[in-house]
Amino acid sequence: TATPDWAKETPEHKAQRMAWWRHDRFGMFIHWGLYAVPARHEWVQQHEQLSTEEYKAKYFDLFNPDLYNPKEWAAAAKQAGMKYIVLTARHHEGFSLWDTKASDYKAPNTPAARDLIKPFVEACREAGLKVGFYYSLLDWHHPDFIVDGTHALRNNEEARASNSKRDMNKYRQFMKDQVTELLTNYGKIDLLFYDFSYPGKDGKGHEDWDSEGLLKLTRKLQPDIIVNDRLDLNDTEWGWDYKTPEQFMPNKWPEVNGKQVPWETCQTFSGSWGYYRDENTWKSTNQLIAMLIETVSKGGNLLLNVGPTARGYFDDRAMNRLEGMGQWMKYNSRSIYGCTAAPEEFQKPDNCFLTYNPETKRLYVHVLQWPFKTLYLPGYKGKVKYAQFLHDGSEIKYTSRSSAAAGAHTTVTAGEGDLIVDLPVVKPNVEIPVIE
């Protein structure tokens, strides 16, 4: 597909637009909507086959986030070391968190009785965080959205029969009206996460959304905005800024046409995105820190999700993990911000992830499993000037095979080019120690 004129930009402008995102590496996703009330998955309307009338009758008047304080959200994100927040302005259920003119199905008409996006944006800015919106391409509420394989009423014959009266032209205009509001009324917006395309039989893709029109509008209203890859324009260079593996860790830096591309994995604490009270599959703080490190070690960003409760706060399971990550980041974020995959000449030691800061030329060895006294750095001889623990800046001694005193009681098994690092027997009191 040829690049349309409106999408043409210099590589310099693109690099400039993406600079903060490449540097920051760690953001917060927030999934919040009516589904926080039933508290059993953000797809509950679809899972339980509810019509939008039934769903609205149950939950719309119960949406009363009396403890909503976006300053607390921003503080929690900032404390965790996150640098940007992406909030679901509207998810698949079709409920808008802001005072949209395009729909009555919105927060101001619930007991919340106000635009919930405005104070969110203000709180983020005040905390120095970048602001992004998630915007669903699906809408199970809109009367013109053609019922398909993802729809809450996908198995309902009556609903399917209504498709002849549904007009996707109107739905496309509705999306443009809403995106215009979001990108006009809240100042500078740094990122837009469109979700998602599923082209094919009983699905929808770029023609159904008018993805090109949406993207054109997005870039016109916010020329420096960063846009994800879910508009089904994936075969083009201009149709997206970064790839978005969902709850998935690639085995290496993802490539498109043989070229490594910007990417961000979005991940959850427990599996679902919306607040799910009874889900018992929460990842540990240690796993989450390792996930962040692994992501950066492969050149990517981590967008880690919180599902706030119906009353508007982050529950203690979420807070606990955010605090744990923040504790680690407080002492170790130098191995995350501005970092990326290590140059290929540095091989990953056993049970470690590597990150690298190309500006300072510092290499970071994240030791996931504490070894007994010795860590071997394969082929690092001559490439290291000094080694220290990142968390306390204390020196770490190392030798190479030729300089190691091979007494009768030791058998040195390192290779010629390896470095042999002397670690303390007791693991330092930090979740995942980092050698700088």
Cis peptide, bond prior to residue 196, ω within 30 of zero: yes
Of 191-199, 284-292, 334-342, 416-424: span binding ligand H79 (CB under 6 A): 191-199
Of 4-12, 194-202, 254-262, 370-378: span binding ligand H79 (CB under 6 A): 194-202
Q: What is the CA radius of gyration of the chain?
A: 24
The strand ranges marked E within 263-404 are: 264-267, 301-306, 352-357, 362-367, 374-377, 398-400
What is the C-alpha to C-alpha distance for residues 282 and 191, in angstroms, rounded to an integer?
A: 28
Nearest distance from C-beta of residue 82 to ligand H79, angstroms:
17
The strand ranges marked E within 56-123 are: 84-90
Nearest distance from C-beta of residue 37 to ligand H79, angstroms:
16
Judged by beta carbon, residue 137 or residue 339, the one nearer ligand H79 is: 137
Judged by beta carbon, residue 41 or residue 334, the one nearer ligand H79 is: 41
| Angle, vertex CA 332, rays to CA 69 and CA 131, nearest 5 | 35
Of 122-130, 192-200, 209-217, 405-413: span binding ligand H79 (CB under 6 A): 192-200
* Among the listed residues 182, 192, 225, 266, the single contact to ligand H79 using CB under 6 A: 266
Strand pairing class (301-306; 264-267): parallel
- State yes or no: residue 80 binds ligand H79 (CB under 6 A): no
Nearest distance from C-beta of residue 208 to ligand H79, angstroms:
13
Give yes or no for a contact between 351 and 367, defined as CB atoms under 8 angstroms apart: yes
- State yes or no: residue 196 binds ligand H79 (CB under 6 A): yes
H or E stretch covering 20: helix 11-24
- State yes or no: residue 234 binds ligand H79 (CB under 6 A): no
> Which residues pair with residue 435 across a beta bridge?
365, 389
What residue number has its CB nearest to ligand H79? 198
Judged by beta carbon, residue 150 or residue 180, the one nearer ligand H79 is: 150
- State yes or no: residue 198 binds ligand H79 (CB under 6 A): yes
Sheet of 226-227, strand order? 226-227, 191-195, 130-136, 84-90, 26-30, 301-306, 264-267
Nearest distance from C-beta of residue 42 to ligand H79, angstroms:
5
Nearest distance from C-beta of residue 31 to ligand H79, angstroms:
6
Judged by beta carbon, residue 197 or residue 332, the one nearer ligand H79 is: 197
Give yes or no for a contact between 374 and 421, defined as CB atoms under 8 angstroms apart: yes
For 200, the token pair is: 């094919």
* Among the listed residues 26, 32, 263, 273, the single contact to ligand H79 using CB under 6 A: 273
Give yes or no for a contact between 349 and 375, defined as CB atoms under 8 angstroms apart: yes
What is the C-alpha to C-alpha distance for residues 395 and 336, in angstroms, rounded to an integer?
A: 21
- State yes or no: residue 232 binds ligand H79 (CB under 6 A): no
What is the C-alpha to C-alpha distance for residues 260 and 245, in angstroms, rounded to an integer?
A: 14
Judged by beta carbon, residue 266 or residue 421, the one nearer ligand H79 is: 266
* Among the listed residues 24, 93, 195, 294, the single contact to ligand H79 using CB under 6 A: 195
- State yes or no: residue 150 binds ligand H79 (CB under 6 A): yes
Nearest distance from C-beta of residue 246 to ligand H79, angstroms:
6
- State yes or no: residue 42 binds ligand H79 (CB under 6 A): yes
Nearest distance from C-beta of residue 195 to ligand H79, angstroms:
5
- State yes or no: residue 271 binds ligand H79 (CB under 6 A): no
- State yes or no: residue 149 binds ligand H79 (CB under 6 A): yes
- State yes or no: residue 85 binds ligand H79 (CB under 6 A): no
Quote the distance between the C-alpha of residue 218 and its chain's center: 20
> Which residues pair with residue 376 across a beta bridge?
420
Give yes or no for a contact between 81 and 292, defined as CB atoms under 8 angstroms apart: no
Residues near ligand H79 (CB under 6 A) are: 31, 42-43, 149-150, 195-196, 198, 246, 266, 273
